[in-house]
Structures are given as C-alpha cells and as structure tokens.
Amino acid sequence: MSQEPIKALCWTERSEPESVYPDGINGAVADALREAGIEAETAQLSDPDQGLSEEALARADVLFYWAHSRHGQVTDDSTARVLKHILARGMGFVPIHSALHSKPFRAILGTTGNIAGWREEEEEEHVYIVEPSHPIAEGLGQKFTLPEAEMYVEPFDIPTPDCIVMISSFREGEVFRTGCCWERGLGRIFYFRPGHETYRVLFEEPCRKVFVNAARWASRRV
Ligand code: ZN
C-alpha cells in the first residue's frame, strides 16, 4: 500500500447556488477529503479545458464529479479524456447525484442512467447499508438518515453493479440503488445518489464519510 497521500480532483459544472454551497458542491467534497488527509484539488466547467485538462486528470487518483443541467456543455474531448484516465490508468470515478445523466457516466457504463421518477419535496432519505463489509461502508453502521432529499425511484437504468453498497428508501416506500460499484478497464467507479443542488445534504457527516471511503476505495488504497 502506497504511503503517498491520495490526490483527488473534485469537479462541478457550478450551477449549484452559492447560498447553499458557497464553495460549490466540489468544494464541499474537497473539504471532507482534506479533513481526512487527502489532497483535493477543485475544478469547474468554466476553467481552461473545462477543468478536465490532461494535466489535472493525470494528477488525480480519483475524480469526484457533480453536474445537473449543463451535461451538454461538456465536450466529447473532455469526456474522452476522463474515460481514458479511468480505463487505461485506473483513475477512480465518483459521480454524484444528477451526474447519472452526465456524458462520462453514460459513456463509461454504456447506459442512459435514466430513472423512473423523482420528487423534490425536501423529504427524508433513509440510506441502508446492504454490504457492511465493503470498504465504502466503513463506519456508517446499519443506516443513516439525511434530512432533506430529492427522491429518485427505480428502475435506474444501469448495468448490474458489481456491488450495491447502499439502498435508499423514501416517504412513499420508493427505493433506489444509492451506492453502486463497478470496475471498468483499470478503473473503479462508485455512484453516490445524495446531493441535490438546493439541499445542504452533502455537508452531512455520513456523506463526508462516504466521500473519504470512496476516495480510498476508488484509488485502490483499500
Ligand atoms: Zn437533484
């Protein structure tokens, strides 16, 4: 196991309101990672090379990626660079929430990422850990509850995950595969569902723990 600190690149399209995420969702992720000794760099769509330059990706052991409404602005070149680093170099990839419709998510999994429905009513989300021995589940216990969530419901159009670490349930009994792992090429991928742009849920302690665990797993340090 390497003693070098993990290096993460935390990316956002930057459409999340400053009133909710003053430093962006990528800033919230980076803050959680730094607290655990992980070196986290932040980048956004408006940066040179869309914040996904060859140099920035080459430095990254893992890419955290949040996007919501500007998926179409991410170029095919940027997407191809991300895919190359996942597949050929083993960069980890952690798409968050609505990144399920992003170009890199769809391309790396060969799927639409579509969901059967959603509801934006600030309801609780109950996240059950279904694979407690998985490194991403470390320290999470049996379940955690997030105070305000946008509901997503199955079916979720993804290839069958190698491992489903977490499942969410919502007010009307809806369920969703909230934490899913795949391997593609040399890379490890972890999709994490929470993270709506107008809810502060990504500051919640269980989410911060998931980011750290996911960074370690996706970087192959555990
Ligand atoms: Zn959302």
pLDDT of residue 110: 98
Give 164's contacts (C-beta < 8 A, 6+ positions apart): 130, 131, 177, 179, 180, 181
Evaluate if residue 3 carries a pLDDT over 80: no
Mean pLDDT of 180-193: 98
Cα dihedral 32, 59, 85, 206, rounded to 10, equals -10
pLDDT of residue 1: 52
151 C-alpha vs ligand 1 centroid, how far in Å? 8
193 C-alpha vs ligand 1 centroid, how far in Å? 9
Report pTM: 0.98
54 C-alpha vs ligand 1 centroid, how far in Å? 29
5 C-alpha vs ligand 1 centroid, how far in Å? 31
User: Which of the four pLDDT bands, split at 50, 70 and 90, describes residue 59?
Assistant: very high
pLDDT in tens, 32-52: 999 999 999 999 999 999 999
Nearest to 177 by CA among 159, 190, 165: 165
pLDDT in tens, 147-177: 999 999 999 999 999 999 999 999 999 999 9
User: Which of the four pLDDT bands, split at 50, 70 and 90, describes residue 2?
Assistant: low
